[in-house]
Structure 1
Amino acid sequence: MSDKKLAVRFAEDVNRPVEMDQELALKLFNEGAVLVLKDVPPATEFGIDTHSWNVGEKFLGVKMIPPGLHFVYYSAVNTKFRDTAPRSGFFHWFKKGELLAYRWDASTETLVDDVSQQDKDNLKSDLQNIDHRLGAYPYQSYNKWLMLTSRIKKEKLEKLEPEEKFISSVTEMVNSPEGTADEDNLPDLTPRPGTNINYTQISKSRCPPNPSATEITKHHLDRSYQLEQFIEQLGNSQEVLAEVQFSFLCFLVGQNYASFEHWKHLVDLLCGCADSLLKHPSLFQDFITDLYFQMVEIPQDFFVDIVSQNNFLVRALTNLFENIKETKEVSADLKQKAQRFENCCSKKFGWCFADDADEENLPVVVQL
């Protein structure tokens, strides 16, 4: 089954583990990529994609990695005090048969990319002898990973990832170049150069220039103008979905809070559109598909603790479902997919999407 067909499947059985037969195992053994991590101390938390482990003494890396995009991450662990350091990680587009090698730097408790080409060549020629120290890629959940990354192309990855490549759950802050201070005389701090994820900024302008009072009301109820500006910045609507997926992964597996905020703003933007439903029907069908797979991956307690703060997602989805139901000429396919998604969310999370807003607090439409 192709990646595209997998991506549009909208049924619960997509979460069924994928069995690896001998033929596939042999193919991945011969053609899969290898990640070698030298000198990683025991008990270190290590993960690739949506799986993580605490490594043992003989751990040297991962083998049989399917070619394509993957996320590698780690956290140092203090076994004496049972403390886990903040998570760091990086995306890498693995090539068929590639060997990627990093070394653990004990002084900084980070992975460093300073393994010489000669050492890499030696490791590759010695794979048979080190095979028993390489864990197999968790292929049983590979289809899930494909669903979560289906829109991200290599060019998009290179544009979004930080200059230093690594994504951290804790942002290192430094004094701003201007050396200014805020009103409390505290230093103005900014993320250390090279560590920022290069997300596309959403325009704060919800209305076209010189709007009438009626237009102001319309565009504050319908964020389609804002979305069209964002699409114009990116070049096409599929780039929007790629950024939604990338920011989601950075906060889900990278534990990067700024990425959670960006994902939340993008979801809120897409859910707040009415006119754009008619202009970009495929965008919203794909958005619902992607959001479904993202929600399947988030642990239930994570929703309670973070995603459901102030009922953000419930409010956003209520807006989306209402817009689809009330906007005339919305395609039957989009209406059907939205209804299935609404039913799924209600069943899985017990959410109610009834529009119960207090009528006294609703916006007033200005007519001139």
Structure 2
Amino acid sequence: MDPNTALELVKQGVTLLLLDVPQYTLLGIDTQMFSVGPAFKGIKMIPPASHFLYYSSSTRDGKDFSPIIGFFIHAAPSEVIVRRWDQQQERLVKVSEEEEERYCQAVKSLEFDRQLGPYNLSQYGDWKHLSNYITKSIIERIEPIGGEITVACESGIVTNAPKTAMEKALDEQMKSSKFLTSVENSQSRRCYYTSIPCVIKQKGIHGQELTSLNIDKTQLLESLLIKDYGGSEDVLLGELQFAFIAFLICMGQSLEGFLQWKALVNLLFGCIEAPFRTRTQLFTKFIKVIYYQLKFGLEKDHTDTSGAATGLSALLDDSWLSADSFLHHLCKDFFSLMLDASSVDGHLLSWTRKLKELLENNLGWEFQRNSAVDGIYFEEDDEFAPVVEMLDDPSCN
């Protein structure tokens, strides 16, 4: 990070004052996670932006932990956010306005400064790539009542739906959690994600036309953008990032987040016409988003202060990352679509190739590309490679 940028972030830094958090509690913000020490009172020098705070209470010896609870915050420059640990509920709660004002003044007078740990700015770049479309309005749009995202509120999400091996494991984890018995009205505390149809059904449409609508989800994408996202591509991408963070940063404990992320990825990768004609810039941004999500998730060096590995490869079972997974099939079809096209935007093609290389190098996945003529294979750099058209869009650089 540029020194001037870092200095500016320090000057405008947000303070998260966390009172009475017990020792050994696992606590994280964004991509950073640590174990609470005896003098801990919070985190300082947090860049003003959207962030995700999450925690897990422990037994007195620090060996066993409850399911993770997380929530998003959107912090303004120099803001002080105050939460207090409720011992009976084992969770962070808001304080009264009077208390908050008193503690804000104490923080600004540096009364807590020695007990505040600094936000690790060296990891802020990773977080920005994972959350750059998440705004205050998106948080307010999706977050559950009370703001808390936890496995305890997700029981029975996919009772009647077919499950992958990973989904079954997460569902069993939820059912076996002793924390579930202490949560009332959990259904009202689920996230307000957009409903993404798996299969398109329309009255008056039958046969080949209906089949075509399900093969190419461009029309469904357009309909959802207008009806549910107010025509904003960035709101859709913000929901994609929100769902991914709720799942991954919560260390795999939000099945609801995973299912929404999977539904949106299925929707976007299932479009054939949109990447070339109607939504080229959206798809360039989408590929960048999923590239950084998978790049972060597949890194094997994510650890908390206890030395435990975190990240996608540490959290998901092998079947999710296998060459027979839903993601592999979606990517294979999309890569073939892009790389076999006669004309494609240069920015989109460039990021598609980066994503393809990431999956090939990190997972060993193979994406053989066949021509439309008798299955003859052509190299990407030969005369049959797609024509590159560079659109003048600085936001896609």
Task: Give the structure-2-normalised TM-score.
Answer: 0.75
Contact 2:319 2:325 in 1 (8 A): no
In 2: Cα distance, 1:258 partner to 1:79 partner: 30
Aligned to 2:15: 34
CA distance in 1, matches of 2:96, 2:184: 31
Distance 1:256 1:81 in 2: 23
Structure-to-structure mapping, 1:157-168, within 5 angstroms: 157-168=139-150
Residue 112 of structure 1 and its aligned partner are, at CA, apart by: 1.0
1:270-281 matches, within 5 Å, as: 270-277=268-275, 278-281=277-280
Q: Distance in 2 between matches of 1:306 and 1:108?
A: 36
Aligned residue in 2 for 1:302: 315
When structure 1 is superposed on structure 2, of 300-309 and 261-270 the one drifting more is 300-309
Could you tell me which residue of structure 2 aligns to residue 263 of structure 1? 261
Farther off after superposition, 252-261 or 225-234? 225-234
SS in 1 for 2:33: strand
Give the secondary structure class of the aligned counterpart of 2:152. coil
Which stretch of structure 1 is more off in the superposition, 53-62 or 148-157? Answer: 148-157
Structure 2 residue runs without a partner (length 5+): 157-182, 298-310, 371-397
Amino acid at match of 2:285: D
Q: Which amino acid in the other structure matches residue 245 of structure 2?
A: L
Q: Report the Cα distance in structure 2 between the residues aligned to 1:104 and 1:83, rounded to whole angstroms.
A: 18
1:239-289 CA distances to partner (integer Å, 9 max, x unpaired)?
221111110111011331111011011111111110112210011111110
CA offsets per residue over residues 316-344 of structure 1, 9 Å max, x none?
11121122234554334323331232123
Q: What is the match of residue 349 of structure 2? A: 335
Match of 2:373 in 1: none
Taking structure 1 as reference, are residues 223 and 27 closer, same or farther at Cα in structure 2, changes over 3 Å only? closer
User: Hey, what does 1:144 align to over in structure 2?
Assistant: 126
Partner Cα distance (2:194, 2:133) in 1: 16
8 Å CA contact 1:207, 1:215 repeated in 2: no
Q: Which residue of 2 aligns with 1:200?
A: 194
From the superposition, tell whether residues 137 and 68 of structure 1 become closer, same or farther in structure 2 (CA, over 3 Å): same
Q: Residues of 1 paired with 2:212 and 2:154: CA distance?
A: 41
How far apart are the structure 1 equivalents of 2:217 and 2:82?
46
Whole-angstrom CA distance in 1 between matches of 2:8 and 2:94: 28
Matching residue of 2:328: 314
Corresponding position of 2:25 = 44
Distance 1:191 1:317, change over 3 A: farther
Distance 1:324 1:54 in 2: 45
**Contact residue 49 and residue 71 of structure 1 kept, 8 A:** yes
Q: For residues 82-141 of structure 1, give each alpha carbon's deviation from its aligned partner in whole angstroms, at most 9, with x where no partner exists.
A: 111000011111111111111111111111112442454245335423211000011111
Is 1:245 the counterpart of 2:259? The answer is no
Alignment-mate amino acid for residue 220 of structure 1: N
Offset at 1:209? 3.8
Structure 2 vs 1, CA of residues 42 and 115 (structure 1 numbering), >3 Å: closer, same or farther?
A: farther
Question: How does 1:1-368 map onto structure 2 within 5 Å?
Answer: 18=1, 21=3, 27-80=8-61, 82-118=63-99, 120-125=101-106, 127-171=109-153, 192-206=186-200, 208-233=202-227, 234-236=229-231, 237-254=233-250, 255-277=253-275, 278-298=277-297, 299=311, 300-305=313-318, 307-308=320-321, 310-354=324-368
Instruction: Report deviation, 1:312.
Output: 1.8
Cα distance change, pair 101–81 in 1 and its aligned pair in 2 (3 A):
closer
Indicate the percent of aligned positions where both proteins have the same amino acid.
Answer: 29
- State the distance in 1 between where 2:186 and 2:202 align: 35
Distance 2:99 2:351 in 1: 53
The range that moved more, 119-128 or 40-49, is 119-128
CA-based RMSD of the aligned residues comes to 2.6
Alignment coverage as a number of residue pairs:
323
CA distance in 2, matches of 1:51, 1:99: 19
Check conservation: 2:133, 2:238, Cα contact below 8 A. yes
Q: SS of the counterpart of 1:84?
A: coil
What amino acid is aligned across from residue 138 of structure 2 in structure 1? K
Q: Distance in 2 between matches of 1:340 and 1:26?
A: 32
Q: Is the contact between residue 154 and residue 187 of structure 2 (CA under 8 Å) also seen in structure 1?
A: no
Instruction: Describe the SS at the equivalent of 2:15.
Output: strand
Q: 1:256 to 1:303 in 2, by over 3 A?
A: closer
SS in 1 for 2:71: strand
Conserved in 2, the CA contact under 8 Å of 1:173 and 1:190?
no
Specify whether residues 350 and 79 from structure 1 end up closer, same or farther in structure 2 by C-alpha distance, changes over 3 A only: farther
Q: Cα deviation per residue 1:184-232 (whole Å; 9 max; x = unaligned)?
A: xxxxx99625411000001355255422422133223222222222212
Change (3 A) 1:306 1:42: farther
